[in-house]
Structure 1
Amino acid sequence: MRFEPITWERLTAALAGHADGLRPADGGTRLRIGVDGAPAACPGERAEHLAEALRARGRAVLTVSTAGFLRPASLRFEHGRQDPDAYADGWFDTGALWREVFRPLEPGGSGRVLPDLWDPVTDRATRSPYRTLPDGGVLILHGPLLLGHWFPFDLSVHLALTRGALRRRTGEGERWTLPAFARYEDEVAPAGKADVVVRTDDPHRPAWTGTG
């Protein structure tokens, strides 16, 4: 896999231009983009910058974070608060993401997306109102461990970190998650599944594979 140095500004503009020319693979009317990466790679920040660039092109965009689709604490912490296998396999409510985010965007779907479901601070449902993504709109889902669930992304971006860089850039209190990301690399191989891979070991000097 060959990487080309690029600035974040140029990368965001290139991704927006590429996405603007895509059509949903399932024949629907709304595009679905995934920005996958460990928290240390800042997928939320990259997703928001991409959303801003697409809005500047006249597209309606809804960003959704997997952090809003955590399972209740009783399920997440069933095997303790720092179990990496539970983090990899059971922290995120993928069924709710399918039901509340992806199915409404299928051909003939309502377009009514739930932007978040669960507040991990209060450990209660957020009760957020649904938001309607119009025809021609773009969903950007961002978060870690996204590419092993067969989510129907029309464009997927993986923010890659070597294991050494991931360890350096992960705070001491979150390093218990590192085995989960090692499993993800070994079992899912996200760099091989993503449409675009961005190397982010140096947060100020990204490099990418291009859009193919």
Structure 2
Amino acid sequence: MSAEKSPDTRERILVAAAGLLAEGGGDAVSTRAVSAAAGVQAPTLYRLFGDKKGLLEAVTVYGFERYLADKKAMEATGDPVEDLRRGWDLHIEFALTHPAFYVLMYGAVRPGERPAASGKTYGLLLGMLEHAARAGRLRIPVDAAAEMIQATSVGVALALITAPADNRDMGLSGRTRDTVLAALTTDPAPDGGDDTLASRAIALDAALTPRPDSLTTGEATLLHEWLTRLASG
């Protein structure tokens, strides 16, 4: 492998681009500036990333990987709703600590396309919600809850990033988080689970994922539809 295509060269370019992004935003990440900061020739950058668009996409993935490292390092508390609360706070903290990365990750989007790298973070959110569902703590199905949390947390993060520093309402995140989680989750019942039909249906649906060997694909699909209908009723 040539030096210009080695992982070290690629990493050096990404680190340089990330530094320029943090200091000056997306406009600062020109191919000329990145090449100079990384100590490589422009043709090397083009061969590795194609063009500026390809470079920015790679930097977006790099940013998601940093976020995921923090997210995965978060230890479970044993309370699935508290884990969701802490996951929200970590999301907002990352946004405010790395605003240029965050805007590139969540703000610079194309209609109809979800950033490919965001699938991993969304998968972690689904995992936390499935844990809450199995514990009987969700009021609505996992997928619907994930969409609501994703939409509101990203909206809050972008609102805080774009607000003037001297007029930033730092209580906005906590108020929105608590309102959303109160709408989506329940307190544990004395017997260790929630006593509503909807939450019990959601818990059973989560417990049956993946499909048990005792059910055919058709039976599992039909049961999922029934449980979803009960959960939505």
TM-score band, normalised by shorter chain? under 0.3
Answer with 1 or 2: which has the greater Rg: 2
**Higher share in helix:** 2
Using CA pairs below 8 Å that are at least 6 residues apart, which structure has the higher relative contact order? 1
TM-score (norm 2): 0.25
